[in-house]
Amino acid sequence: MKNIFNFLLSFLFIANIAHAKKVLIVGSGGREHALSWKMAQSPQVDHIFVAPGNAGAAQCKKTENIDIAADDINALLIFAQEHMIDLTIVGPELPLTLGIVDTFNEHGLPCFGPSQKAAQIEASKKFAKDFMQRHNIRTAEYKTFIDAQKARDYIKQQSNYPIVVKADGLAAGKGVVIAQTEQAALNAIENMMQKQHFGHAGTTIVIEQFLRGHEVSFFAICDGQTWVPLTTAQDYKKAYDNNFGPNTGGMGATSPAPIDTAMQQRIMREVVEPTVAGLSQDGIPYTGVLYAGLMISPEGDPYVLEFNCRFGDPETEPMMMRLKTDLYDLCLASAKQTLRTCNVEVDQRCAVGVVLASSGYPISYKKGYPISGLKQSRKDDETVVFHAGTKTCDGEIVTNGGRVLCVTALGNDIADARKKVYNCVANIEWDGKCYRTDIGLN
Ligand code: AMP
Ligand code: GLY
């Protein structure tokens, strides 16, 4: 009897290890398409659900879109329980700041990302700045205000312009004003604190010193105590060529960023290590991906502009093309605090991603235009068209957002990857297609 019982136990154990894994990816952008594309390459993973996904994610092998909004944590939890999801990966910041990881963990479900408390590193600029000051992490000098009159008085004492005014909370990438004049800074204070352009996000503001230099992003995967470097990327935030026009979510990205190994070592030693250690000391262990947005000063010192508590978009698209490690293993090790045993391997080749956007993005744009040339543009393993704002309508793929696609290619160097990307971009058309022609040039 005992033998039969032991046999059954070991059978169940082996069956559990061998059972094909189910993954839930939360979000609907190019980042989530790239994460599902990479996840589908894992031999362990049998089925991927994307909530709510887009037309591209739906075409990935093993992948299915489900009609649940990314911030509907209760519905996501019920879905994950009913479908016995082995791992959930959260793309956007909103569900993270609403506490999706805490909720899933309370129900015994592994979820890749930081806790609600740790997500404050992105959700509150004041929290991030105070944290950096406490732990001696290099960042622009700053002051925070909850009183508009005190903020105005402070501005009137300043003589160095530009000066940077930031809403404390999440503002969909629009909460930062680089004020060139005193009047522009006063207007920003009024818009954020009095007119409440960003709602509650602007009731506290940060005013900080303007930093010069070049921007790079560094990504690390963390499990609370241990962290591993993933790679670097450069994002192109302005809407038009040569960095003109309004700020966007990102019009393209390259990976790696143009920084040398010595600078990468400094970023790890002076930014990532003290951040992960400092959060742990403060009783807020950080799990998930830590995205450090940095300015490398003309003197060659890395300053933190901001932290994000998630993968970047469009940085994830070129980064996933370079990642060699099984994404399931990596994210599960982060969620289960076993990163020490995980090796991250990244392709030494370079990747470039170019966003194809709707005319008028980021200000106002129309949706619903049929996209042509997608089938012809699927050429090889080195060029992938990731979807962002797309949906299927009567069997046809149509535009459904400001950023529509992110065409991404691997090459021997950035110039080679650029060539492949722009060849592919030329094949895709819709009424109002817009893109930058200088991604990877500077
Ligand atoms: P953030 O959301 O804080 O990263 O700010 C968005 C963008 O504003 C950054 O990527 C920079 O291009 C710019 N920015 C933010 N803070 C500063 C600063 N202190 N000095 C110069 N540029 C900044
Ligand atoms: N591309 C900028 C971001 O993801 O925040």
What's residue 379's pLDDT? 61
Mutate to test the pocket of ligand 1, among 176, 214, 217, 235 (most ligand atoms within 8 A of CB): 176
Altogether, the residues listed in the chain come to a count of 442
Cross-strand partners of 296: 214, 302
What is the rounded average pLDDT of the residues 302-314? 98
Token look-up 């944290």 returns 131
> Does residue 13 surpass a pLDDT of 50?
no
Residue 380: CB atoms within 10 Å: 10
Tell me the per-residue pLDDT of 209-260, one tens digit each, with 9 for 90 and over. Answer: 999 999 999 999 999 999 999 999 999 999 999 999 988 999 999 999 999 9
Tell me the per-residue pLDDT of 330-373, one tens digit each, with 9 for 90 and over. Answer: 999 999 999 998 989 999 999 999 999 999 999 999 999 999 99
Torsion (CA) 408, 409, 410, 416 in degrees, nearest 10: -130
What's residue 18's pLDDT? 62
Backbone angles phi, psi at 358, to 5 degrees: -85, 140
Give distance in angstroms: CA of 305 to centre of ligand 1: 6
- Residues in contact with 150: Cβ distance below 8 Å, sequence separation at least 6, in sequence order: none
Amino acid at the residue 92: P
Which tokens in the block code for residue 403? 């950023």
> Does residue 161 surpass a pLDDT of 70?
yes
What's residue 173's pLDDT? 77
The closest of 171, 122, 441, 162 to 304, measured between CA atoms, is: 122
The closest of 185, 291, 254 to 420, measured between CA atoms, is: 254
Report which protein residue has its CA nearest ligand 1's atom 3.
306
Report which protein residue has its CA nearest ligand 1's atom 7.
176
Report which protein residue has its CA nearest ligand 1's atom 5.
176
For the chain, what percent of residues have pLDDT higher than 70?
A: 95
For the chain, what percent of residues have pLDDT higher than 90?
A: 90
What's residue 404's pLDDT? 98
What's residue 7's pLDDT? 54
What is the rounded average pLDDT of the residues 98-108? 98
What is the rounded average pLDDT of the residues 307-321? 98
Atom of ligand 2 nearest to the CA of 235: 1
> Does residue 4 surpass a pLDDT of 80?
no
Confidence tier at 377 by pLDDT (50, 70, 90): low
Tell me the per-residue pLDDT of 34-88, one tens digit each, with 9 for 90 and over. Answer: 999 999 999 999 999 999 999 998 888 899 999 999 999 999 999 999 999 999 9
Measure the CA–CA gap between 201 and 198, rounded to whole angstroms. Answer: 5
What's residue 5's pLDDT? 52
Range with lowest mean pLDDT among 109-113, 170-174, 185-189, 370-374 = 170-174
Measure the CA–CA gap between 97 and 325, rounded to whole angstroms. Answer: 28
Confidence tier at 381 by pLDDT (50, 70, 90): confident
Tell me the per-residue pLDDT of 422-441, one tens digit each, with 9 for 90 and over. Answer: 999 999 999 999 999 999 99
* Helical (H) or strand (E) element with 153: helix 148-156
Amino acid at the residue 95: P
Measure the CA–CA gap between 297 and 303, rounded to whole angstroms. Answer: 7
In this structure, the residues whose C-beta lies within 6 A of any atom of ligand 1 are 140, 164, 166, 176, 178, 208, 210-211, 215, 237, 293, 305-306
